[in-house]
C-alpha cells in the first residue's frame, strides 16, 4: 500500500508540475515579455526620444478614444470603431475577391504544365511589387477611394492563394488521381471531389497568409486615399500632432491582426483533416 501511495503522490506531483508549467507558458512568460516591452518603451522615451509619448499618456488617450468609439461628427470625423469597421470591410472585400480569383487559377496552374509556364513568369514579376505602387493605378481606374483600396488589397493578397493552391494540387498523391480516373470522374468532379479536398491544408495556409497581407496593406492604402479608415485615422492624427492616438491605433491594428489570424487558424483546424 505504501508503494501505491507513493506512486499516486508522484503522479499528483507531476500533474501539478505540468499545470504550473502550462500556466507559466501561457500567462507568466507573455506577461514578462509585455513588462519588458513597456520597460524598454519607458527607457527609450526618457533617454533617446523624449518627444515620444509615455505609457501613461498613451493609455489615457486610449481610454479617451474608446470611451466614445461610435460618434459621428462628419463624413471624415468618426469614432475609432467606425474607422476600424470601414477598414475591415475593405479588407474582407479584397480578400474575398483574391480567394474567388486565386483558387481556380491556382488549381489550373497546379494541374496544367502549359498554364504553369504561362502564368508563373507573370506572377513572379508582379508578386514583389509594393502595394503603394498599385495605388495610383487603382485611383486611375476607379477614381474612388473604396474600389481603389480594394483593388490594391486584391492585387497584393492574391499571390499566396494562387501559389499555395498550386503547390497543394501538385502535392496530391498520384494514387488519388488514379482513383478518380478509375471512377471516370469528369474534370470538374475531379477538382471538387479529389484535388481540392486533398490540397485543402495548402489552400487554407495560403488564405491565412493572404488575409494577413490584406490587413497590412489596408493601412498604407488608406493613408494615401483618405476618407474613413484606420489608416486615414493614423495619418490624420499625425497631421494633428497627436502621437498618442497613433500609438493606440498601432496597438489596435495589432490586436485585430491577431484576431483575424486566430479566426483563420480556427477555420484551418476545423477543415483540415
For the segment 89-123, what is each residue's pLDDT rounded down to a tens digit? 999 999 999 999 999 999 899 888 999 999 999 99
Residue 26 parent element (H or E): none
Predicted structure pTM score = 0.83
Query: C-alpha cell of 151?
Result: 483593388
Gap between the Cα atoms of 206 and 162, Å rounded: 8
pLDDT digits (tens, 9 = 90+) for 237-267: 988 888 999 999 999 999 999 999 999 999 8
- DSSP, collapsed to helix, strand or coil, labels residue 77 as strand
Q: Find out whether 199 and 110 touch, Cβ atoms under 8 Å.
A: yes
Q: What is the pLDDT of residue 24?
A: 63
CB 170 within 8 A of CB 113: no
d(CA 202, CA 219): 27
* Beta pairing, strands 72-74 & 77-78: antiparallel
Please report the pLDDT score of residue 262 as a whole number: 93
Dig out the grid coordinates for 145 from the structure: 477611394
> Average pLDDT, stretch 168-189?
78
CA 169 from chain center: how many Å?
23
**CA neighbours closer than 13 Å in the CB half-sphere of residue 200:** 13
Confidence of residue 225 (pLDDT cuts 50, 70, 90): confident
| Short-list 261, 265, 246, 272, CA closest to 80 | 246
Amino acid at each position: 500500500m505504501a508503494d501505491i501511495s507513493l506512486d499516486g503522490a508522484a503522479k499528483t506531483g507531476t500533474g501539478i508540475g505540468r499545470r504550473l508549467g502550462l500556466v507559466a507558458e501561457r500567462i507568466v512568460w507573455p506577461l514578462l515579455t509585455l513588462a519588458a516591452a513597456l520597460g524598454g518603451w519607458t527607457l527609450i522615451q526618457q533617454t533617446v526620444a523624449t518627444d515620444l509619448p509615455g505609457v501613461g499618456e498613451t493609455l489615457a488617450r486610449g481610454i479617451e478614444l474608446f470611451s466614445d468609439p461610435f460618434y459621428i461628427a462628419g463624413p471624415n470625423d468618426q469614432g475609432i470603431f467606425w474607422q476600424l469597421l470601414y477598414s475591415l470591410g475593405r479588407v474582407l472585400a479584397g480578400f474575398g475577391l483574391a480567394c474567388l480569383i486565386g483558387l481556380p487559377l491556382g488549381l489550373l496552374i497546379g494541374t496544367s504544365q502549359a498554364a504553369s509556364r504561362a502564368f508563373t513568369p507573370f506572377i513572379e514579376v508582379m508578386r514583389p511589387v509594393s502595394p503603394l505602387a498599385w495605388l495610383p493605378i487603382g485611383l486611375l481606374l476607379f477614381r474612388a477611394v473604396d474600389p481603389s483600396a480594394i483593388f490594391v488589397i486584391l492585387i497584393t493578397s492574391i499571390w499566396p492563394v494562387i501559389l499555395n493552391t498550386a503547390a497543394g494540387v501538385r502535392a496530391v498523391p498520384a494514387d488519388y488521381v488514379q482513383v478518380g480516373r478509375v471512377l471516370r470522374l469528369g474534370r470538374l468532379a475531379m477538382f471538387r471531389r479529389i484535388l481540392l479536398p486533398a490540397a485543402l491544408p495548402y489552400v487554407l495556409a495560403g488564405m491565412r497568409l493572404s488575409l494577413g497581407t490584406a490587413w497590412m496593406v489596408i493601412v498604407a492604402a488608406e493613408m494615401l486615399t483618405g476618407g474613413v479608415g484606420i489608416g486615414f485615422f493614423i495619418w490624420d492624427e499625425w497631421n494633428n500632432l497627436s502621437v498618442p492616438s497613433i500609438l493606440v491605433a498601432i496597438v489596435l491594428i495589432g490586436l485585430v491582426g491577431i484576431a483575424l489570424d486566430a479566426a483563420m487558424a480556427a477555420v484551418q483546424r476545423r477543415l483540415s483533416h
